[in-house]
Amino acid sequence: MSHTSCRPVALAAVARLWGLAVCVVVAAAGLCGCRTAPQPSREDVVRPPPDVRLRRLMVRTQIRGRGVKDERVLAAMEAVPRAEFVPAAQRPHAYEDRPLPIGEDQTISQPYIVALMTELLAVKEGDRVLEIGTGSGYQAAVLAELTPHVFTIEIIPTLAERAEETLRRLGYDTVEVMAGDGYLGWPEHAPFDGIIVTCAPEEVPEPLKEQLREGGRMVIPVGPQWTHQTLYVLTKKGEALEQKAVIPVRFVPMVR
């Protein structure tokens, strides 16, 4: 075949290749009519929602930063959305390190105190835990991150009902809530590996001592009403309770 007869074929092939290259470039530029879905930026992919960021900041600065070291407790505090347990008007303050009003002259404890008391209780997976003073249900939710056997008593029926609704809505279905006198404990479910009291009696209730399992712990503020009390860790040893004072605190009084 002569060179003259081969040239048109070669030029046609080059033209086709050139056209394909142009199409690829144009398509890459998004100009050839082939639209692709916009890709999220790296920040969009890794940046968590605002509530999660606030929880992480709360744990890092207010809780871990103040000496709470139990990783399970830190994870539980990060997992539970405190904003869901306070009235709507208080939600902008939900992750501040202070107690907040929840109605009925009651408060939700500051995050650090919740974490500290939970760490002191030393909850193990499978432990049976009794809480006295459900309040908003926040402490019960934190405990439920550590064990499925959580029982909580609230003396104010409206708070008990509201707390149970919140816990169910957030998926904490294993928590059992009762409206009743926390001073008497919950003998039907005793003995308990841990008892945590979020209101302050002037002395430790005898029924709670009796319902604590051998070797079990009770974390409880004790002292005069509407003034500073002392937070204690009590460990049951036979018929006696070994007592350790932790820090001065201020809780609403235990009422009957």
Q: What distance in Å separates the CA atoms of residue 236 and residue 88, rounded to the nearest whole number?
A: 41
Tokens at residue 137, please? 């249900």
Close Cβ partners of 141 (under 8 Å, ≥ 6 residues apart): 80, 85, 167, 170, 172, 175
* CA geometry: angle 34, 35, 41, nearest 5 deg: 140
**DSSP 8-state code for residue 134:** -
pLDDT tens-place string over residues 233-247: 999 998 899 999 999
pLDDT tens-place string over residues 66-121: 999 999 999 999 999 999 999 999 999 999 999 999 999 999 999 999 999 999 99
Does the structure show a pLDDT above 90 at 63? Answer: yes
Domain count, the chain: 1
CATH code where residue 182 lies? 3.40.50.150
Confirm whether 4 is domain-assigned. Answer: no
Confirm whether 92 is domain-assigned. Answer: yes
Q: What are the residues facing 22 on neighbouring strands?
A: none
Domain limits for position 157: 48-249
Confirm whether 56 is domain-assigned. Answer: yes
109 flagged as catalytic: yes
pLDDT tens-place string over residues 139-196: 999 999 999 999 999 999 999 999 999 999 999 999 999 999 999 999 999 999 999 9
Confirm whether 86 is domain-assigned. Answer: yes
Is omega for the bond preceding 191 within 30 degrees of 0, making it cis? yes
Q: What is the pLDDT of residue 27?
A: 39
pLDDT tens-place string over residues 8-24: 344 344 344 444 443 33
Tokens at residue 236, please? 């049951």
| Full-model pTM | 0.81
**DSSP 8-state code for residue 63:** I
Confirm whether 143 is domain-assigned. Answer: yes
Contact 231/253 with Cβ under 8 angstroms? no
pLDDT tens-place string over residues 40-61: 444 444 556 789 999 999 999 9
Is omega for the bond preceding 81 within 30 degrees of 0, making it cis? no
Does the structure show a pLDDT above 70 at 5? Answer: no
Tokens at residue 143, please? 């405990």
Q: What is the pLDDT of residue 36?
A: 47
Tokens at residue 182, please? 């926390």
Q: What is the pLDDT of residue 39?
A: 54
Q: What is the pLDDT of residue 47?
A: 59
Confirm whether 254 is domain-assigned. Answer: no
Q: DSSP assignment of 47-62, as one string?
A: PPPHHHHHHHHHIIII
Confirm whether 41 is domain-assigned. Answer: no
Q: What distance in Å separates the CA atoms of residue 188 and residue 158, rounded to the nearest whole number?
A: 23
- Catalytic residue, from 2, 5, 109, 136: name it: 109
Confirm whether 55 is domain-assigned. Answer: yes
**DSSP 8-state code for residue 83:** G
Q: What distance in Å separates the CA atoms of residue 211 and residue 199, rounded to the nearest whole number?
A: 18
Q: To the nearest whole number, what is the mean pLDDT of the chain?
A: 86
